[in-house]
Structure formats: structure tokens, C-alpha cells
Amino acid sequence: MRTFEQKWTAWLDGQLSGSELTEFEASLPDKAAAEAEKANAKKLGALLKREIGAHGLANEEFFSHQLRERIARESARPSRERDGGVSTWWTIRRLLWTGTASLAVFLAFAIFVMHDKNPAEQSQYLTQILNARVDPVVSPNATISMFEAKEDRVTVLWTEGLQSLPADYAAK
């Protein structure tokens, strides 16, 4: 269903017909004033078409018009776009901030993880050699040397010429 304004526009353009036309004309409060307004609107439309109508362009004018439009478009664009420098999301400033934020997150995570460990505790991998002997019968040319570094919490057991571990070898 059309609104009154849509019916009015269709009536002015002469697009109403039949029962719709009679029904609309019956709903007008002053049909004579409406007919006068319709005639004035048609006169105005004819005047506008005659005076403001677009004139055809010759090839030379059309080419010149295209050039003027292109120059106007290019002069309206910012200079960075004209020079071919297209802005991207990853500018230097954003890269710097992203790197700084990533480093801060890494440091906070590292401090949080390292905070749980006490560096003065003894490592779970540290062992003590209780007894290191070589049975001369089993391995007559075997030697055992122990090296221990307290500051690094490392003990190295160096064996040479050992064919098997002695039965009394123990570590805790």
C-alpha cells in the first residue's frame, strides 16, 4: 500500500489509473488547487529540462574533461599516496611498541617462573659418590678419578679401562 506522498508523486507524473486514480482524486480536499499545482509542476519540469539539460561533449571536450577530473582527484589525495608510499599496519612505531611489549611479557613470565625456584637448593640431579674402588682382579688396568666443583655443583667420575662396574659401587 502506497503512502499519500507516493500516490501524490505518481498522480503528478500521470502514473495513476483506474480505481486508484478515482480513489486518490476523491481523497483530495481541493481538487482545483491540486490540478493547478500539477500544471505548475509540469511547467517547472519542462523548464528545467530545457534550461539545465546536459549538453553532449565532443571528443576533444570529453578528453579534456577526463584530464581535469583526474588532476582534481590526484591533487585531492595526500602526498604520501601520490608518491607510492602506501601506509601499512606494521609501521616502525607499532613494531617498536610490539617488541617492547613482547619483551616485557617475557621478562614478567621469566621472573614469575624463576621466582618459584630457590637457587640455593641442591639440584635433584646431584649425587655423591660414596665408594669408588676398582677390583684389580676384574680390571687390572682400570683407574677412577673424581673431579668436584662446589660452586657449579658438579661431580665428574672419570673411569678408564673399566670392563664392568664393581659390585660395591653405590651412589645416593
The residues of the chain scoring below 50 in pLDDT are: 172
How many domains does the chain divide into? 2
Judge whether 72 and 65 are in contact, CB under 8 Å.
Answer: no
Q: Is residue 149 part of a domain?
A: yes
pLDDT at position 107? 92
pLDDT at position 28? 86
Q: Is residue 29 part of a domain?
A: yes
What is the domain range of residue 17? 4-52
Single pTM value for the model: 0.31
Backbone angles phi, psi at 56, to 5 degrees: -70, 145
Q: Is residue 89 part of a domain?
A: no
Q: Is residue 100 part of a domain?
A: no
Q: Is residue 113 part of a domain?
A: no
pLDDT at position 87? 63
Packed helices 31-52 and 4-12: angle between N→C axes, nearest 10 degrees: 60
pLDDT at position 122? 58
Q: Is residue 93 part of a domain?
A: no
Q: Is residue 112 part of a domain?
A: no
pLDDT at position 91? 86
Query: What residues contact 11, with CB distance under 8 A and at least 6 apart?
Result: 21, 24, 25, 38
